[in-house]
Amino acid sequence: MPRSYRRSAVAFLLCGVLAMTLFVTGPAQAKDSAWTVRGPSPHSGPLAQLRLDGASGALALQVSRGGRTVIEPSPVGIVTERADLSHGLRYLGRHDRTVVERYRSTVGKQRSRTARMTETRFRFRGGGNARLDLVVRVSDDGVAYRYDLPSGSGDVLGETSAFTLPPDAAAWLGDYRKDNENLFKEYTAATAPTGEYMAQALFETGGGYALIAESDLTGRYSAARLTHQQGMPTYRIGLWDERVESDGPLSTPWRALIVGDLPTVTQSTFTDDLAPASRVADTSWIRPGPALWTWLAGGKPAGQSLSMQKGYVDYAAQRGWPYVVVDAGWYFDPDQWDVTDPDWQRNSWIPQLVDYARERQVGIQVWIHHRDLDTAEEREQWLPTLERWGVKGVKIDFMDSESQETLRWYDEILKDTAAHHLLVNFHGSTIPKGIQRTWPQVMSMEGVNGEEKRTNTPQHLATLPFTRNVIGSMDFTPGAFHRPERPNAVSDAGEVGLSVLYESGIQNLAGTPESYDARPLARRFLEQIPATWDRTRLLAGRPGESAVLARASGSRWFIGGTFTGPAHTAEVPLRLEPGRWLVDLILDGPDGLVRKPTVVRGGQTLSVPVAADGGFAAIACRWRPGLSTCDRP
């Protein structure tokens, strides 16, 4: 037999044997694949590991820090009209890059920011030849991922995204509510009751703390909440809408984990770092600052009275507060005008108030109901009018939804308020998931069980700095000394401290002029609250027990602390720069507030007597011989 024929015969025989082998044994088992994404500081920061199961084609993401687990392998996937991209995936490749972005914020924990992240884009193909890109970012303080889908993917029907914690991880959770205003309570990851929770959940694991968050949420998608079954340590992403409409390429919001020790998490700007850059070119008109909020001070009658509002303007001018916020009532009085009349604006006294306030260097912001701005025609009626009157900002209330339709409304109102140079404070709202970087006129958002509520607890107050306020400005409205319902009613010093402890671009101070005048030390402290902060540091605390934060403005540090439990002496590390500091303390005394100046070196411990469920406030400045106060003249 010729040699070429012999070769052909052997090849044919081998093919036959291989075919028989495959017939008998079936297809070979595919191997698992795993990839690691490291951040800028892999030895101290978190790292993410993505794993593709060879048998099911399903993805799972694990997060660790310092060699210890933060998040157990957790499902990653999305389901669209065209394909179920939670399994059956085949790896196509990856692309790595470094992201470095520098930007300035109009509000928040610090003005100047630098975001450094490593980014890996993983490309997959699923059933029906559907495509999916999974984009993973890792920074020194967080891990995030999002799904990128090409045109033709259809509407999104849901995500299989989830976070699996160690079962015994301490958990601070708030039941889900459409306006994000429920209390935080402490559980463990597995024992929390079955239900839905707000997507601002904090866990303590062996690898540090992890705060679940979301960023770059717009009308292209639907807001997330967490769903949980008691006994299981997994928290799944649930969307407001059963179907998310998409008619083109889609980048979903970021599923984010803020990761690190407690100071790292508390001081993090990760959700802003993930968000798109500012869409407002000229921000010179955007001016944060404290405001006298007249709702808790005077209620609806104050909103209906020009003379009362002038009195508040006078008081704000005396205090040096740049704003007065006129709340509900100013445009709902039937004795003033018919709101269905196109010329109703001419009957308003707001322009008179604006002129009066301008002469005293005070700006006016006004409350307005969402239903009066929910169409393009209404926005065209209201917003140019308010700008023409000289109103500086709007407090928009009662959206009470995180649906895709409502988020599309946010997109429109944000463009319109920027165009008409109006600052914005959203109430009855979602929370600021990166929105303040993209739209810097957003001074604050509610999304918190704040001072006007009657159900707050000291534990809730001591959890907010580690959960809700990490994500963005929070309009808690502190300073309502006259309200007996406030949870730290026995501690006026604690109430003063909340004005620093809680960050808000417009710090709406909720007390009456009489209550401030009765507490001159509190009044003097609140007169000095800065418009913005340069830096923020956590000095001490644990969620649900205590929180002490220091925020810098120029060379001075403002300090606020809140504590739960009986009266005691708190030991607070003064984590400031080296050198001697004069710490001007405001404490609770037997007959009211007292001032106690103390000289301490940076890094030493500050002993602070606090009342039961109370707190304190302080200003720290560089000590020099003869200096006895940190007050500015």
Give residue 331's pLDDT band: very low, low, confident or very high (50, 70, 90).
confident
Residue pair 230/193 in contact (Cβ under 8 Å)? The answer is yes
Give residue 346's pLDDT band: very low, low, confident or very high (50, 70, 90).
low
Residue pair 408/469 in contact (Cβ under 8 Å)? The answer is no
Residue found by looking up tokens 């495509």 in the block:
131
Residue 554 CA, chain-centre distance (Å), reads 24
CATH code for the structural domain at 449-472+484-504+511-633: 3.20.20.70
Q: What residues contact residue 520 under an 8 Å CB cut-off, 6+ apart?
A: none
Domain at 33-274, CATH class: mainly beta
Residue 336 CA, chain-centre distance (Å), reads 39
How is the chain split into domains, by residue range? 1-29, 33-274, 449-472+484-504+511-633
Cα(549)–Cα(267) distance, integer angstroms? 10
In this structure, which amino acid lies at residue 173? L
| pLDDT exceeds 80 at position 339 | no
Residue 18 CB burial class (10 angstroms; 0-12, 13-18, ≥19): exposed
What is the CB neighbour count within 10 angstroms for residue 172? 24
Cα(167)–Cα(234) distance, integer angstroms? 9
Each residue's pLDDT tens digit, 89-146: 999 999 999 999 999 999 999 999 999 999 999 999 999 999 999 999 999 999 999 9
| Alpha helices for 242-282 (secondary structure H) | 262-267, 270-274
Cα(474)–Cα(454) distance, integer angstroms? 18
Cα(99)–Cα(450) distance, integer angstroms? 36
Residue pair 255/161 in contact (Cβ under 8 Å)? The answer is yes
Cα(357)–Cα(360) distance, integer angstroms? 5
- Residue range 540-569: average pLDDT? 97
Give residue 332's pLDDT band: very low, low, confident or very high (50, 70, 90).
low
| pLDDT exceeds 60 at position 26 | no
| pLDDT exceeds 90 at position 23 | no
pLDDT at 142: 98
Q: What's this model's pTM, rounded to 2 decimal places?
A: 0.93
Each residue's pLDDT tens digit, 436-454: 999 999 999 999 999 999 8
Q: Which of 281-295, 296-310, 366-380 has the least mean pLDDT?
A: 296-310
pLDDT at 485: 82
Residue 397 is a catalytic residue:
yes
Share of the chain above pLDDT 90, in %: 89
Cα(168)–Cα(170) distance, integer angstroms? 6
| pLDDT exceeds 90 at position 20 | no
| pLDDT exceeds 60 at position 615 | yes
Residue pair 595/584 in contact (Cβ under 8 Å)? The answer is yes
Residue 452 is a catalytic residue:
yes
pLDDT at 341: 61
Catalytic residue among 72, 204, 452, 588: 452
Q: Which DSSP string corresponds to 392-456?
A: -EEEEE-----SHHHHHHHHHHHHHHHHTT-EEEE-SS---SSHHHHSTTEEEE--S--TT-S--
Tokens of 248: 């083109």
Each residue's pLDDT tens digit, 397-432: 999 999 999 999 999 999 999 999 999 999 999 999
Q: Which of 266-270, 299-303, 419-423, 557-561 has the least mean pLDDT?
A: 299-303
| pLDDT exceeds 70 at position 29 | no
Catalytic residue among 72, 216, 397, 446: 397
pLDDT at 14: 36
